[in-house]
Amino acid sequence: MSLDLTQTYPRSVHDKLFGLVQIDRTIDKGKALAHGNIGEYHYNCVMDQGVFGFLGIDHDAFLDVIKNAKSDDDINAYVKGFVDKKSPQEIENWNREWLSHKPTGESLEYFVQLRNQIAPDRTDVTTWPDLLDLDEKRTVPKRETANA
């Protein structure tokens, strides 16, 4: 159940648990933090806060659940209680918005700078989930147009 993010990557933002994106990645970072091997990752970053806000989960309480869980089933059962309060349509809409949202303002400036370091030829990548996947050596399909 322990995860060492100094040796491997967390799951992709695109991975789903109970039909919801982002939460598996957040769980991975929570596990690594609980075991002292989170590396360069940050638990309760802006993206984690997004899924916490959508589900109504308190990040400190969730970290306590992770620390005290006897298995992944305990963590998943906790998450399921929050996911079950959402309709399939709410989850689908949130997933679509989450995966397609483009950074703006200072976030966009940082995004472009990071993308230029990771893959300067991939101007078609315009969302954080795709950029994180590229950075973590996952395949990201080419997009038709580039806006950033």
In DSSP terms, 21 is beta-bridged to: 16
For residue 1, what pLDDT band results from cuts at 50, 70 and 90? low
* Distances from the Cα of 47 to the Cα of 21, 64, 71, 85, 146, angstroms: 11, 19, 24, 21, 22
**CA-to-CA distance for 131 and 118, rounded, in angstroms?**
8
Angle at 51 between CA 47 and CA 55, to 5 degrees: 165
* Residues near 53 by beta carbon (within 8 Å), at least 6 away in sequence: none
**CA-to-CA distance for 111 and 28, rounded, in angstroms?**
23
- For the record, the structure tokens of 67 come out as 């620390």
What are the pLDDT digits (tens) for 52-74?
999 999 999 999 999 999 999 99
- Entry pTM: 0.92
How many CB atoms are located within 10 Å of the residue 6 CB? 11
Pick from 32, 69, 54, 57: which is nearest to 101 by CA? Answer: 54
What are the pLDDT digits (tens) for 65-122?
999 999 999 999 999 999 999 999 999 999 999 999 999 999 999 999 999 999 999 9
Return the SS3 of 147. coil
